[in-house]
Amino acid sequence: VLSRPSTCRVQSTGGDKIQVHYVGRLTDGKIFDQSATRGEPFEFRLGSGQVIKGWDLGLEGMCVSERRRLTIPPNLAYGKKGAGGVIPPDATLIFEVELVQLPDKVVIVDEEPERRPAPTPEVSTSPTKLVSQTLVRPATCSSLATTGDTVSVHYTGQLIDAKKFDSSLDRGEPFVFKLGEGAVIRGWEEGVAGMCVGESRLLVVPPHLAYGKRGVGNVIPPDATLIFTVQLLKIN
């Protein structure tokens, strides 16, 4: 990651139509292709095999305006054949890529969810059951997370006073777990089930579906209601 915006409301996932600007170089620094010469971003469907495999793998989980450098070995690029007279056989390729837009995930600004929403009056007192609200849902939903699935998610967790206690975004990598095996709190087991890849949900988890009377050390107090924003990135 070369640069990443401070606020990242949506991320690229498999199946998204994405628009990027890029520069492609050989390892000796020679530029063999760049979108700037065409004057417009390059658009393709992520994960559908329209581009080299290194792109399908390397451009997942990007924020709009994020820039990444991808160093792609030959087996994830053009292999032993190369590409015409431009890319030699067995070439390692280096790309600098900026994600310009996710057309499939455009939302009206007024309706754009905050990744870390402040608690509303409706959830400021401890609920008696899980509250789940969909913030963003993709236009097409080919599969749903179910018990037994291994899922990758990004999340942010807050206390009811809006204090953040944990976030996978701060660590820079998704959290992976298997649904239905007790690897996460019960509120997550219930709240993540049924999500589409690319969907974001707000989960308000009462204490008995979280850490109960014990809490967690100095991080989560006893009998705490927890608020999570969760985005499902992948079903493995």
Sign of CA dihedral 121, 125, 127, 131: positive
Beta bridge partner(s), residue 31: 25
Q: Is 228 a catalytic residue?
A: yes
Contact 10, 105 (CB under 8 A): yes
Choosing from 95, 155, 220, 235, the catalytic residue is: 155
Dist. CA 89–CA 94, nearest whole Å: 15
Q: Among 165, 175, 177, 223, which one carries the catalytic annotation?
A: 165
Question: Catalytic residue at 166?
Answer: yes
CA distances from 150 to 36, 155, 224 (A): 39, 16, 27
Annotated catalytic residue, options 33, 90, 166, 223: 166
* Whether residue 185 lies in the annotated active site: yes
Neighbours of 69 (CB within 10 A): 13
Catalytic-residue membership of 211: yes
Q: What is d(CA 33, CA 174) in angstroms, rounded to the nearest whole number?
A: 31
Among 22, 211, 220, 235, the active-site one is 211
Residues involved in catalysis: 155, 165-166, 185, 211, 228
